[in-house]
Amino acid sequence: MPVLFSIQRYMRKLGVLVLGFILTITFAKAQVASDTSAKKLVKTDSVARTPGKTLDKIAAVVGNSPILLSDIELSYANFLVQGNQPDPTVKARILQTLLTQKLLAQQAAIDSIEVKEEDVDANVDRRMREMTQRAGGQDKLEAFLGRSVIQYKDEIRPDLKEQMVAQKMQQHITEKLNVTPQDVKKFYDGIPKDSLPSFNKEVEVGEIVFQPKLTKEEKDLYKAKAEELRQRVKKGEDFGTLARLYSQDPGSAPEGGDLGFADRTTFVKEFTANAFKLKAGEISPVFETDFGFHFLQVIERRGEQVHVRHILISPVITQASLDRAKVKADSIYKILIKDKNIAVDFSSAAAYYSDDKDTKYNGGMMLNAEDVQNRSTFIPTDKLDPKVALITDTLKVGSISKPDLFTAADGKKSYKILLLKSATNAHKANLEQDFPKLKEYAYNDKVNKTVSAWFDKRRKETFIKIDKEFQAYDVLKKWVNTNPEMVIPETKIKSSSK
């Protein structure tokens, strides 16, 4: 659904398996749901809750906060629903996650660490938007949940808030940590020489991308097609039928163009502008986005949400447009090879000419997809696009390639000029070549030790009781304290009319 394209783990190396145990939905309904979007929902944020009679008991207690066995079973059901094989140790990891969250949240209350209510609301709303989209609309989601969205939001809000508080407490524990060059050297010196990490060959690669662009006359053919369909709708033909036959949005065309309910943050700006200025039943004029030419109809408005359907006509790139892109790429290449300082001019040319929004404002430099957080430009050669790797392997450092035609994973074609800015051969880690990486390792090591020490101290100071069913698991042995045995009560069997 192209128009719709517009937690994080807070424990590092603690062996915590973070599962979607917050968003609970009815498992019995999930088993019989035939709606495709609903099935997608089950595979993401859902967990099972079997209606009827359930025997529940307390699996653990942290301070004055109990953790119910049903909470663990719900998360484990979600783990299985996602297609994973049965694994009893996962239940122990789920309990470890819940113990961690409870301990952090309780300390946050002591330290007056809070989250803003509006941030909690925004988090709840974000999750509900995702669920609504996957379900194919608010009506389908409510039918799937067996309750209203408002009721469901109220149900999940406390757990989400606790999760956010725990995350903020974790950040508070480590927020003042830093590493100095001396810390990095000490960390490096402490690694046995036969245990030093090895790094594969890495390169820094720049690109200037020339995407084929249609002329106004070429685009007008597709705009006219969209307008023709719009007129047919206005004359009485069924919108849904025309969408199924002609719309080129693969996500919504089978549903008659129906996008379900969404808020202003869901769509690209041009789509939002049209969707939210119309009344129910009204049809927009044809408008253009990066995906092509659309027109839409508003089906219903609910406060700040709108239910729309649309038809998309996507222009097809012509050989003539590809030829024009190549001519432009060739001309820029000729300018660059005449300059002695290619790297500087390459950066400027990328900023001015490149059509790739991800790299043009970064001097044309590609980022390591596995280290985006640090915006690293050093990319292992085995992680490069195969064609990029093949071309850069023939380049000398500081040189550029002739324009070549590339085809992206989505089938879109473009011409690219590549720059090999630097190349580092495979080697054992050393301070001279790998200081940034070693600094990150040293920082993570410091974080791990700080967090582990914090938990060791808090576990000794906090009453923690774990049911015998879980005490034998290795990941929970540190959580089993020496407090006198406490009988963990079972709750009464409760009946449900649902």
Residue 15 identity (one-letter amino acid): G
Q: What is the pLDDT of residue 344?
A: 64
d(CA 49, CA 46): 10
d(CA 174, CA 454): 10
Quote helix, strand, coil % in the chain, to nearest 5. 50, 15, 35
d(CA 248, CA 311): 7
Q: What is the pLDDT of residue 492?
A: 42
C-alpha 353: how far from chain center:
30
d(CA 12, CA 33): 37
d(CA 125, CA 382): 40
Longest dimension (CA), the chain: 83
d(CA 331, CA 323): 13
Contact call for residues 446 and 11 (beta carbons, < 8 A) = no
Only one residue has tokens 């979600």, namely: 78
d(CA 152, CA 163): 17
Q: What is the pLDDT of residue 55?
A: 55
Residue 55 identity (one-letter amino acid): L
Contact call for residues 210 and 328 (beta carbons, < 8 A) = yes
d(CA 318, CA 19): 46
Q: What is the pLDDT of residue 410?
A: 82
Contact call for residues 419 and 206 (beta carbons, < 8 A) = yes
Residues paired with residue 309 on neighbouring β-strands, in sequence order: 258, 297
In order of start, what are the domains of the chain with their CATH numbers? Answer: 7-175+462-479 (1.10.4030.10), 181-196+430-460 (no CATH), 198-213+318-428 (3.10.50.40), 216-313 (3.10.50.40)
Residue 276 DSSP class:
T
d(CA 299, CA 225): 23
Residue 312 DSSP class:
E
> pLDDT tens string for the chain (498 positions)?
443 333 222 222 222 222 233 333 332 233 333 333 333 333 333 333 444 444 578 999 998 889 999 889 888 887 887 788 999 899 999 999 999 999 999 999 999 999 999 888 888 888 887 787 777 777 888 888 888 888 888 888 998 999 999 999 999 999 999 999 999 999 999 999 999 999 899 999 999 999 999 999 999 999 999 999 999 999 999 999 999 999 999 888 988 999 888 888 888 999 999 999 999 999 999 999 989 999 999 999 887 788 899 999 999 999 999 999 999 999 999 999 886 666 568 999 999 999 998 899 999 999 988 876 778 899 999 999 999 999 999 999 999 999 999 999 888 899 999 999 999 999 999 998 889 889 989 999 999 999 999 999 999 889 999 998 898 899 898 888 644 444 444 444 344 444
Q: What is the pLDDT of residue 481?
A: 62
d(CA 70, CA 100): 18
**Paired tokens of 470:** 């879980």
d(CA 480, CA 60): 10
Q: What is the pLDDT of residue 76?
A: 87
Half-sphere exposure of 454 (CA within 13 A, CB side): 19
Residue 305 identity (one-letter amino acid): Q
d(CA 313, CA 219): 11
* Cα–Cα distance list, 221 to 137, 257, 293, 295, 343 (Å): 33, 21, 11, 15, 41
Find, among 308, 272, 304, the residue nearest to 287 by Cα: 272
Contact call for residues 213 and 324 (beta carbons, < 8 A) = yes
> Can you give the C-alpha Rg of the chain in angstroms?
28
d(CA 203, CA 368): 10
The pTM for the full model equals 0.62
Only one residue has tokens 């307390």, namely: 58
Burial class (CB in 10 A: 0-12, 13-18, 19+), 212: buried
Contact call for residues 20 and 288 (beta carbons, < 8 A) = no
Contact call for residues 165 and 104 (beta carbons, < 8 A) = yes
Q: What is the pLDDT of residue 169?
A: 94
d(CA 21, CA 372): 27
d(CA 167, CA 451): 12
Q: Pick left, alpha or beta for residue 178 (phi over 0 → left; psi -120 to 50 → alpha; otherwise beta).
A: beta
